[in-house]
Amino acid sequence: MINDITNSVNEIIDKYIDPQTKKPFNKNNSDININIKDGHVNITININPIYKENYTQLISGMKNDLKKINNILSVNVILTSEKTTPNKETNNNPKWKINAKKIIAIASGKGGVGKSTFTTNFAVALKQLNKKVGILDADIYGPSIPRMMGITGKPITNENKKLIPLENYGVKCMSIGFLIDVETPAIWRGPMVMKALEQMYNGVEWGDLDYLIVDLPPGTGDAQLSLAQSSKLNGSIIVSTPQDVALIDARKGINMFKKVNVPVLGIVENMSYFICDSCNKRHEIFSYGGVKKEAEKYNAPFLGELPLDKDLRVQSDEGHPACIANPDGEIAKIYLSIAQSIINQKN
């Protein structure tokens, strides 16, 4: 039923054209956001407030059409606007600075899709391709990098009062997980989170890096926007599982990066399939191929498929990335292939 409602809503929305930009309100239009839950449809449309009156008829027609869909209980359409003012802190003059040739954010629209696992293995793969690599764990509320990289201990400060990143497998790492106890929750409001992220940028002696890989928290909130706007992000990689519920959120991540002019370097389908130990057959637990279709739709590179694998889960828990634990294995080869494809890109 959920898919039927979603499809019906999208069919109606697709028929409407933005009176100002003349673009259809389809999935590729980042100015519209649709949220459907328990029969309630909430839509936000980002506009230039100068042209607010031009949207009166559109909102009325959209509401009336959507209310005709079976099992829709309510429809709410809200106009929003983002204040655009000259910004001196452009990507050419970022407020948060790290001496890295390229800074790449690893993002997902939702949690539980294996983003941190991808970050860890991708960074180690880059290192094995002779790159100088660092990982910044920006997931303040759920830092996973210390465990996945097999690092314990606390960083020390140097004579310049900057933190020295901890290191394993030749990869430099910084995480809030190094600074607080593993079982202590970070019960912080937004300003404290932003301050912590800024400290992990400007207050860490990263040295010279070829790549800084940033493990973003899931979603599209303050942390993601601040990192995109305050640091010189060269690009992003979106990680998603192939089922519709994950792809809906992945689209939000793609559109967020588009809005802040950060290129999407590629999209990865994680947990794409499972090879059964008993029958040795491939099983596609979470559907299959959805991420590749999204990549084609958004004209973004499709970086590949990664399986749901028991050994990878054990390796992650024990702090042994695939390229270290089983360098000749199929998963290690996939990560090395993805890393090489990013190195080959000209962004």
- Which of 148, 158, 138 shows the shortest CA–CA distance to 199? 138
Angstrom distances, CA of residue 307 to CA of 151, 233, 329: 25, 28, 12
2-80: CATH homologous superfamily? Fe-S cluster assembly (FSCA) (3.30.300.130)
Q: Which phi and psi angles does 252 have, rounded to 5°? A: -65, -40
- pLDDT of 85: 40
**In angstroms, rounded to a whole number, what is the distance separating the alpha carbons of residues 200 and 119?**
17
B/e letters for 237-259, b = 16+ CB within 10 Å, e = fewer, are: bbbbbbbeebbbbbbbbbbbbee
**In angstroms, rounded to a whole number, what is the distance separating the alpha carbons of residues 341 and 327?**
18
In tens, the pLDDT along 283-320 reads 676 666 778 888 888 888 999 888 888 888 888 889 99
| pLDDT higher than 70, residue 222 | no
In the sheet with 133-137, reading across from the earlier edge strand, the strands are 166-168, 171-175, 133-137, 209-215, 100-107, 235-240, 264-269, 302-305
Start-to-end C-alpha separation, the chain: 42
CB neighbour list of residue 315: distance below 8 Å, 6 or more residues apart = 321, 322, 325, 326
pLDDT band for 90, please (50, 70, 90 cuts).
Answer: very low
**In angstroms, rounded to a whole number, what is the distance separating the alpha carbons of residues 234 and 343?**
12
- pLDDT of 5: 82
Please tell me the pTM assigned to this model: 0.69
**In angstroms, rounded to a whole number, what is the distance separating the alpha carbons of residues 192 and 283?**
44
Give residue limits of the domains in the chain.
Answer: 2-80, 100-344
- Which of 94, 103, 111, 40 shows the shortest CA–CA distance to 72? 40
In tens, the pLDDT along 124-177 reads 999 999 999 999 998 877 788 999 999 988 888 888 888 999 999 999 999 888
Amino acid at 10: N
Can you read off the two tokens belonging to residue 194? 């932003």
DSSP state of 65: H
268 neighbors 304 (Cβ within 8 angstroms) = yes
| pLDDT higher than 80, residue 120 | yes
**In angstroms, rounded to a whole number, what is the distance separating the alpha carbons of residues 74 and 72?**
6
DSSP state of 164: P
DSSP state of 163: B
In the sheet with 74-80, reading across from the earlier edge strand, the strands are 32-37, 40-46, 74-80
**In angstroms, rounded to a whole number, what is the distance separating the alpha carbons of residues 97 and 198?**
9
Where do runs of H (alpha helix) occur along the chain? 2-14, 56-67, 115-128, 145-148, 190-202, 222-230, 244-259, 290-297, 310-318, 322-325, 330-344
| pLDDT higher than 50, residue 232 | yes
DSSP state of 204: B
100-344: CATH homologous superfamily? P-loop containing nucleotide triphosphate hydrolases (3.40.50.300)
